[in-house]
């Protein structure tokens, strides 16, 4: 299954923040109130699980960023 570019943009933004802040998948799972396997599934290009707007909002709140950080400036 191919990941849509807008979904990949969001996934890449989360991965970048995770690495910058030295967080593990379990930390992201705790922020989102999900399982570690969910985060792994999102980061896997063959799994249909993806972050939704609620997840983006929770991540923006945690990292003290605008939700816009997780979305591209222009359509992809």
Burial string for 33-70 (b: 16+ CB within 10 Å, else e) reads ebeeebbeebbeeeeeebbeeebbebbeebbeeeeeeb
CB distance 60 to 66 below 8 Å: yes
With a cut of 90, say whether residue 45 has pLDDT above it.
no
Fold adopted by 5-70: 434 Repressor (Amino-terminal Domain) (1.10.260)
- pLDDT tens for residues 52-72? 999 999 999 999 999 999 999
**pTM for the full predicted model:** 0.94
Per cent of the chain over pLDDT 90 is 92
With a cut of 90, say whether residue 46 has pLDDT above it.
no
Domain boundary assignment for the chain: 5-70
Q: In residues, how long is the chain?
A: 76
Average pLDDT over all residues of the chain: 96
């Amino acid at each position: 299954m191919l990941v849509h570019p807008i979904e990949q943009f969001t996934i890449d933004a989360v991965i970048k923040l995770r690495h910058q802040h030295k967080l593990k998948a379990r930390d992201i799972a705790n922020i989102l109130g999900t399982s570690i396997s969910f985060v792994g599934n999102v980061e896997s290009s063959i799994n249909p699980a993806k972050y939704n707007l609620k997840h983006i909002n929770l991540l923006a709140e945690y990292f003290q960023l605008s939700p816009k950080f997780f979305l591209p400036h222009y359509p992809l």
